[in-house]
Amino acid sequence: MKADSEIFPTTYHFLKSAFVIEGQFKASSQVIDWLKEQNERVKISIKKIRFDQLDQWSIHSQKGNIQHKTGKFFTIDGIHVKTSWGNVPEWDQPIINQPEIGYLGFITKKFEGILHFLTQAKIEPGNVNHVQLSPTLQATRSNYTQVHRGKKPLYIEYFQRAKPHNILLDQIQSEQGARFLKKRNRNIIINVEDDIPVYDNFLWLTLGQIKDLMQVDNIVNMDTRTVISGIPFGSFDKEVVDFYSFLWAHRSKNCFGRFFLKSALTENGALHNIDEIISFLTKIKSTHDLEVTYVPLNQLKHWIFGEDMIFHEELKYFKVIAADIEIGNREVAKWSQPLVEPAQEGLCAFVVKEINGLLHFAVQAKLECGNYDIVEFAPTVQCLTGNYRHTQEGALPFLDYILNAKPRQIVFDTLQSEEGGRFFREQNRNMIVMADDEVPIGLPENYIWMTLHQLYIFLKFNNYLNIQARSLIAAVSFL
């Protein structure tokens, strides 16, 4: 096993793990039962309260934002946004401000030569179904420096002690730019060779299993999805990939897996090269402004700061609420905090199309007010919080196309949760749709075709793909 890891690159071990859906420990169907059990075993109570009932949180007299008395965790701020992008040149909104970079980390270990990921059945207050599969470690800096004086997060010491040769992936990636102000996390995967303790609620799964479980609604949490989305699978020559695909073909349960495999592994042959894609982005960043200034929450235009919620006067977008939370298996058992509650379910979808024999994704450059660097690559359709079903026909490119896709075009279609530590029961429909000949190669302005291999390159260099795009890429399966 040691010799194995010396000879083969990390990407190859990821690739093998992505093909294994029978892990050494639990079958996927058993995992779902196991999560149900966890769900039943744990006591949970979430009660909406008034802002003035929040324990340890208050409205800052000068800044007019909501903050924790330690100044840590996060704040709910009001912002005024000005931009030359799109049709709305300025607006006000509340936003979550959490400038610290936290850990989202997996420990991996090889069993019978196959990389397994140590997942955790973790409760978050806002989760639709309470318990979801999360990374080994999910910790804000406030968490692991123990501002809340709770228990030290389990396994943190493995990450803090990791040496370069044990680190398989280590990226800084963004969160929702419409909800978080420049929030980023450290997405990290480390490898251990020795035995380690497997605590209650933890379970080793292969990458193939995690991806398989994404076929079920609201099982794999957002933090797991962002970390696994960044996993690259290496580069191979065209004929090598073709032969892989040929060898695998007769075993594959659907025909899409082979297309994704080819698109993921093939270095050359894309419609645009990396430099052209960077130029596409450079042009957009150079010609659009994004200016964000703070405004007290009670002075936001078109938003009402009520005693138990902050909401848009047309009840659009989202609300900020306050909640009392009591949970059994978290580091701190009882606390209160603000949460963000969506106005309705959203839709994130990629249109994919075979071009020059390689599957390409129609990627959108999208400006969101909380973005670290003006625009990020987003799914073809992303209307997270808008009332997309009532949007004027044709107003949003590809929206009608996605909603009217024929069953044989649908590669992926599930509900996935947003981060339950900040969002109250928010789930979005995640779809991947195979284009037919109707979809031309020419795309609207601010859209560009990219292969999976190219998306993995941008993922590596941080802050290029938004979390909605990453969530969909996490769902890509070769099986």
- Per CB under 8 A, residues contacting a copy of itself are 10, 99-101, 103, 164, 167, 169-172, 186, 188, 272, 274-276, 278-280, 282-283, 285-287, 289, 291, 372-373, 460-463
Nearer to a copy of itself, 292 or 439 (CB): 292
DSSP 8-state class, residue 373: T
State the Cα–Cα distance between residues 195 and 395, nearest whole angstrom. 55
Structure tokens at 176: 């929702």
Which of 251, 224, 157 is closest to 416 using CA atoms? 224
Nearer to a copy of itself, 388 or 458 (CB): 458
State the Cα–Cα distance between residues 68 and 329, nearest whole angstrom. 23
Structure tokens at 77: 């701020």
Which of 352, 353, 361, 359 is closest to 465 using CA atoms? 361
Tell me how crowded residue 134 is: count the other CB atoms within 10 A of its CB. Answer: 25
Exposure class string for 58-79: b at 16+ Cβ within 10 A, else e: ebeeeebbbbbeeebbbbbbbb
Min CB(457)–a copy of itself separation in Å: 9
Nearer to a copy of itself, 229 or 382 (CB): 229
Nearer to a copy of itself, 44 or 172 (CB): 172
**Amino acid (one-letter) located at 276:** E
State the Cα–Cα distance between residues 124 and 104, nearest whole angstrom. 15
**SS3 state of residue 92:** strand
State the Cα–Cα distance between residues 227 and 169, nearest whole angstrom. 9
Nearer to a copy of itself, 252 or 462 (CB): 462
Tell me how crowded residue 409 is: count the other CB atoms within 10 A of its CB. Answer: 17
The DSSP element (H or E) to which 217 belongs, if any, is none
Strands 102-111 and 66-68, sheet pairing = unpaired
Tell me how crowded residue 341 is: count the other CB atoms within 10 A of its CB. Answer: 17
Nearer to a copy of itself, 50 or 460 (CB): 460
Min CB(222)–a copy of itself separation in Å: 19
Nearer to a copy of itself, 148 or 288 (CB): 288
Nearer to a copy of itself, 189 or 399 (CB): 189
